[in-house]
Structure 1
Amino acid sequence: MALNDTFYLSHGSPTLSIDDSIKARQFFKSWKNEVVAVKPKAILCISAHYDTTFPTVNVVSGPNDTIYDFYGFPSSMYKIKYPAPGAPELAKRVKEALMRAGFERVDEERGRGLDHGAWVPLMFMYPEADIPVCQLSVQSHLNGTHHYNLGKALAPLKDEGVLIIGSGSATHNLRTLNRSGKPSATAPWALEFDTWLKDALLQGRYDDVNEYEKKAPHAKMAHPSPDHFYPLHVAIGAAGGDPKTKLIHHSWDHGTMSYASYQFTASSPSHQSH
């Protein structure tokens, strides 16, 4: 069974786990009915919240622990469990694929569970928690092209029934969020960056996205750190070839946080063109 598409999901705030008013929550709940009807054999999640010097996979043989990598939120959030099985065989395949593609060092982190970039969306997408999940880290000190190339190396895994997901946020500047609880208009800079990104992706200008820091308006404002953006580059690369992009969800929260999520479909079924 092959899964032809890869995805970039904006997971937004950890409160997505408990706040039913966040529009993206309904999108994640509709996943199996409206986005991916085929049950994957395993899930590879590239999360903004797993940031290491070298590409690293988590290796877990039993259920994944649930990592609460956030502070000061309601106590109920720290009681949520998402004990999806680990995917040590997938971790091995990921490491092999990256080494084969020329990445000289790929590390393993044994026993590390799932951070909230993985388990918060997955708890709605696959609430049964019965699909093995492996995480791959980002390297925020490197660039978009590095992450795109990571994705290219991973593309053949789709032929094995692996669902490849990049989990981040289309805009991510926590200092600019409107936390007053009152509705607010979307900040112009956030709207301009988000619109630029949508247009670039839908028009297939992936080289521009790889060099977004030079090409996009308000790039540093939208992403003071690139950790929430680089999972996008991995997802694009993993689609294979010259993929077609589809915007599958869009909403805003706190005035500057975009929940834009994208689907990438390979233009041909073969991954040998890389």
Structure 2
Amino acid sequence: MDTVYISHGSPTLALDDCPARDFLRRWQEFLPEKPKAVLAISAHWTTMEPSVSTTASNSTIHDFYGFPPDLYKLKYNAPGAPGLAKRVKHLLHGAGFHWVEEDSSRGLDHGAWVPLLLMYPEVEIPVCQLSVQPYRDAQHHYELGRALAPLRNEGVLIMASGSATHNLRTLKLDSSLPPSWATAFDDWLNECLVTGRFDDVIHYETKAPHAKKAHPSPEHFLPLLVALGAAGDGAKARRLHTSWAVSTLSMASFAFTP
């Protein structure tokens, strides 16, 4: 299995007529192999220590406010994957992450269920979530991913979900072209990934142009590091999609082939 990083943008991605939604609805053209399970690493589950969801049946978390009523009607109650959660915990323990929590009530937040609703609308693939730790650095998340690499050979799709750029204070609801700081960061990220400059990505805060403006807080970038680490040394990256939403949200998505 390749590992993937999806820019999920706004929750309205599930409803909007836009290029990113069209891309995700065609997902199986890009990765035709159907996974046995999905491990979702979402920007919208943040904890002090790594935590895995162990529920046997996922609920749908509508973790947003003030959106169209039709959005709250959508559900993605995928089967849980408690066996996968135990496997994730075992792998993390073996890699030196000694404190890994279990959450038996956690459902799927919109960083997980919105893209999955478009990618696998049959709602039959078991899903487990792994949290991110925004108080820890990118290297920590890259090492989390490295620990999870064996899952690729077990039919598990490691799906990281965030946004390639994410500064909510700069959004524009008109059709404005993305500003230069956003395109500079997005172009830098793409170049680093496709040319294998992964160490620069790990140190994005000092290496990337406009890093702090593109990501005032890191939680939407950190899932990418998990997917990158899980792909293993020598992985090849390719950009599957590029578009923009509300001017400054890059919807770039990537796959990493071991």
Q: Partner of 1:59 in structure 2?
A: 54
Q: Kindly indicate whether residue 177 of structure 2 is the aligned counterpart of residue 185 of structure 1.
A: yes
**Structure 1: runs of 5+ lacking an equivalent:** 267-274
Within 5 A, what are the aligned runs for 1:1-274? 3=1, 5-20=2-17, 22-32=18-28, 34-61=29-56, 63-179=57-173, 182-266=174-258
Code of the aligned partner of 1:30? R
Code of the aligned partner of 2:197? R
CA distance in 1, matches of 2:189, 2:12: 25
CA distance in 1, matches of 2:135, 2:30: 33
CA distance in 2, matches of 1:154, 1:140: 19
Q: Deviations over 1:170-209 (max 9, x none)?
A: 0000110002xx3111111000000110111111111110
CA distance in 1, matches of 2:3, 2:34: 14
SS in 1 for 2:3: strand
Q: CA deviation at 1:35?
A: 1.2
Q: CA deviation at 1:36?
A: 1.3
Computed over aligned residues only, the root mean square deviation of the Cα atoms, in angstroms, reads 0.7
Percent sequence identity is 60
Q: CA deviation at 1:158?
A: 1.1
CA distance in 2, matches of 1:246, 1:46: 19
Q: Number of aligned residue pairs: give it.
A: 258
CA distance in 2, matches of 1:37, 1:228: 26
Code of the aligned partner of 1:28? L
**Structure 2: runs of 5+ lacking an equivalent:** none
SS in 2 for 1:45: strand
TM-score normalised over the length of structure 2: 0.99
SS in 1 for 2:182: helix
CA distance in 2, matches of 1:123, 1:169: 17
Runs in 1 of length 4+ with deviation above 3 angstroms? Answer: none
SS in 2 for 1:128: coil
Code of the aligned partner of 1:41? K
CA distance in 1, matches of 2:9, 2:51: 23
CA distance in 1, matches of 2:146, 2:9: 26
CA distance in 2, matches of 1:59, 1:225: 28
